[in-house]
Amino acid sequence: MTVIPPAIPGWIQVFVLVGIAVVLVLVPIKVLLELTRGARDRMSRMRDLAERLKERFGAVHLERGVLAPSLVRFTHEGRPATLSRPDDEEVLLRLEPAVRPGSCMILKTRGPMDGGFAILWDSMRVLRRIRIHDPLIDESLSLYATGSFGAYLRELALDGIPGEGKPTGLAESLVVLRRLPGVRRMKLQMSPTGGFRVALELRADDLLYRPDELESLVHHAWRLYDLLVLS
């Protein structure tokens, strides 16, 4: 004997179909609105940042990104650079020099998992960790470079670490970048393909509201470029 299942009332079928339609329509709309609101908030923060940069830099121009993060173009003593925020907790400074770096290097805030080698992904280069043999740098920063360039960096850094008094040259600029306010971690990378850039992981927005500190960041980034690329 065949058992015929009870028919589902028409109103239940309509209710289910309407519920599915609501989910399919409203959920994407909500996601789109959240993305749009987030994009507006990020753009507003970039406008504010551009206004603050005008206090210390020239030719400040906000460039709205379509598929990439928005950025602020500006000049420091006539030399071009850009500043962007890939996410809410990161600031990326990229120098735009006429001469690109000829060597590869990674310099970053020391972490518990730092090993003897690091990969520079834009150039697919494996770099060896270089010790400066001075606690001022070795205890707080991890430096990776090729052997010959690493030896040059060690000599340059040690020249700026006096027995008494403040560090100078390369060592001074490294100390300044490491101690910028509100910065949790710093990572400087340079290569012929990727150029010269400094990424800062923030724990607070202190740096972004202090034009003097922003100027110090850019000034010492260019000093490092001059020492490592043009010298």
| pLDDT band at residue 27 under the 50/70/90 scheme | low
Q: Is residue 217 predicted with pLDDT exceeding 90? A: yes
User: What is the pTM for the complete model shown?
Assistant: 0.79
Token representation of residue 182: 């509100």
pLDDT tens digits for 55-96? 999 999 998 876 677 899 999 999 999 999 988 889 999 999
Q: How far is the C-alpha of 94 from the C-alpha of 71, rounded, in Å? A: 10
Largest Cα–Cα separation, the chain = 101
Q: In what order do the strands lie in the sheet with 125-130?
A: 58-63, 71-76, 79-87, 90-95, 195-202, 183-191, 105-109, 141-145, 125-130, 117-120
DSSP per position, 70-111: -EEEEEETTEEEEEEEEETTEEEEEE--SS--SS-EEEEE--
Nearest to 188 by CA among 160, 229, 136: 229
